[in-house]
């Protein structure tokens, strides 16, 4: 296969997944520039190792690459949070105060996600932002499905507790 054909095949598989990869990268990095760098590195790494792709779920395959790249980044690579621009203003958000409040909540939540232990953060990001099934996450992380379920549950519960603690306005249900 020529290099061009190989790239064409990779492109046909990877471009439809770019939205998911970009979203996962935003969740992992908390900074748009950093997220786009990570997504681009993932695409290039995927192309470089495309010969080792064996037909499994392609998004999960790329997510594993992204996970490794993110894990292997130097600690200083994560930039300070500067991500008000990562919050989209919904069409039905009419006023700036609403936007800023939503933006603050979003920034705080992403900070809480970033503060999760890595093994919990990974599974949460793959599920919530990569929209991968438990089986696909298990493949991506090379762990049993039961481990995925357990880690995801603990990630969510830790995040829930921290969110309720940090966010006085966070909705609570009264018992």
Using CB under 8 A, which of 69, 120, 157, 166 touches other proteins? 157
Q: Which residue has the tokens 């290099």?
A: 3
CA distance 115 to 132: 22
CA distance 138 to 162: 26
Which parts of 81-100 interact with other proteins (CB under 8 A)?
86-88
CA distance 114 to 121: 7
CA distance 62 to 76: 24
Q: Does 23 bind other proteins (CB under 8 A)?
A: yes
Task: Count residues binding other proteins (CB under 8 A).
Answer: 56
Binding site for other proteins (CB under 8 A): 2-4, 6-8, 10-12, 15-16, 18-19, 22-23, 26-27, 36, 39-40, 43-44, 47-48, 86-88, 102, 105-107, 109-110, 113, 127-129, 133-134, 149-150, 152-154, 156-157, 159-160, 163-164, 170-175
């Amino acid at each position: 296969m020529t290099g061009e054909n190989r790239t064409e095949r990779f492109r046909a598989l990877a471009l439809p997944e770019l939205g998911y990869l970009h979203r996962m990268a935003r969740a992992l990095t908390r900074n748009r520039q950093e997220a786009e760098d990570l997504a681009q590195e993932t695409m290039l790494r995927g192309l470089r190792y495309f010969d080792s792709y064996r037909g499994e779920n392609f998004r999960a395959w790329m997510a594993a690459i992204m996970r490794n790249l993110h894990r292997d980044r130097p600690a200083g690579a994560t930039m300070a949070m500067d991500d008000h621009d990562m919050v989209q203003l919904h069409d039905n958000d009419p006023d700036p105060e609403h936007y800023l409040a939503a933006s603050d909540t979003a920034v705080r939540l992403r900070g809480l996600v970033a503060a999760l232990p890595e093994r919990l953060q990974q599974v949460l990001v793959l599920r919530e932002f990569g929209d991968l099934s438990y089986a696909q996450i298990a493949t991506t992380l090379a762990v049993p499905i039961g481990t995925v379920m357990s880690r995801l549950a603990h990630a969510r519960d830790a995040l829930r507790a921290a969110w309720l603690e940090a966010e006085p306005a966070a909705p609570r249900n009264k018992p």
